[in-house]
Amino acid sequence: MNVLSELNVGESGVLVDLKLPEAVQNHLMHMGFVPDALVTVIRRAPAGDPTVYGVDGMEIALRRETAAAMHIREADAADSETDAAERNETGDEEDLIEAAR
């Protein structure tokens, strides 16, 4: 098991646990950082902190200190396929909304 802050840009991991104060943990969980969520590193600031992570279709910047308290496991093919399917469903909804306009 690793921590989220150790991933490089472009890598993904599956969230296992958040070792953060309850208020912070609840806030992040409302944004999609829940157990079994696939989290991808999108980009890192030039100085290395903060880092932008993709989770549940959103991009969220976290400081290294926060990401270091979030435990992940390596994402396998099944996790990636599930995430891709969820992105396709979202894309279909957006297509339908656009067509309705």
Q: What is the pLDDT of residue 98?
A: 57
Q: Where are the domains of the chain?
A: 2-75
* pLDDT beyond 90 at 95: no
DSSP 50: S
pTM of this structure: 0.73
Percentages helix, strand, coil for the chain (3-state, rounded to 5) are 40, 30, 30
Q: Which CATH architecture has domain 2-75?
A: Roll (2.30)
Of 53, 27, 57, which is closest to residue 40 (Cα–Cα)? 53
Write out pLDDT tens, residues 4-60: 999 999 999 999 999 999 999 999 999 999 999 999 999 999 988 999 999 989 999
Single-letter residue type at 66: T
Write out pLDDT tens, residues 70-92: 999 988 866 655 554 454 555 56
d(CA 56, CA 40): 10
Enumerate the β-bridge partners of residue 43: 52
